[in-house]
Amino acid sequence: MEIHNFYRKFSPFFRRRRLLHFIKVIKPSAEEKILNVGGYHWFWDDIDHDLNITFLNLDSDRSSPRYVYVHGDGRSMPFSDNEFDVVFSNSVIEHLGSKEDQAMMAEEIMRVGSKYWVQTPAYEFFLSHTMSLPLFTGYLNVMREY
């Protein structure tokens, strides 16, 4: 089986499970402003929700009547301090390259959000879907407990 076909088959299950865990832990409400750094609306379409989500992405040409897309870089966000109640990022920070760039994004996430949820591939997971290579996974984990 081609590796991308494998991911397409199983990723909705794991994506939904991650989102439901996020909702269980963070408990976001419809009144809260959520910023998704580096994501797309289809990621959220796997669950039923009424959340207020803004997407920050280098690729802001996406459109959705349900969400707002803002063109920008996670290392220098065009938002005020604590503008968002929650900042969410799924498997983005590990793609920035240098540890300095990753630290810049982490600092920006903490600056613009009151709470944050940053998910990266785990060291322990045997396969990285982003690299399509066995035994190659992310190398930075940023998490804040609530």
Q: Where are the domains of the chain?
A: 3-134
Among residues 28, 56, 24, 18, which one has the least CA distance to residue 115?
28
Collapsing DSSP states into helix, strand and coil, what is residue 145? coil
Residue with tokens 């809260």: 32
Asked if the model's pLDDT at residue 116 lies above 60, the reply is yes
Q: What is the pLDDT of residue 5?
A: 63
d(CA 52, CA 30): 6
Q: What is the pLDDT of residue 2?
A: 63
Asked if the model's pLDDT at residue 123 lies above 60, the reply is no
Q: What is the pLDDT of residues 31-84, one digit of tens each?
A: 999 999 998 888 888 788 999 999 999 876 666 778 899 999 999 999 999 999
Q: What is the pLDDT of residue 96?
A: 82
Collapsing DSSP states into helix, strand and coil, what is residue 118? strand
Q: Which residue has the higher pLDDT, 54 or 92?
A: 54
Q: What is the pLDDT of residue 111?
A: 98
Among residues 130, 56, 46, which one has the least CA distance to residue 88?
56
Q: Which CATH superfamily is domain 3-134 in?
A: Vaccinia Virus protein VP39 (3.40.50.150)
Percentage, residues of the chain above pLDDT 70? 73
Give 14's pLDDT tier (boundaries 50, 70, 90).
confident
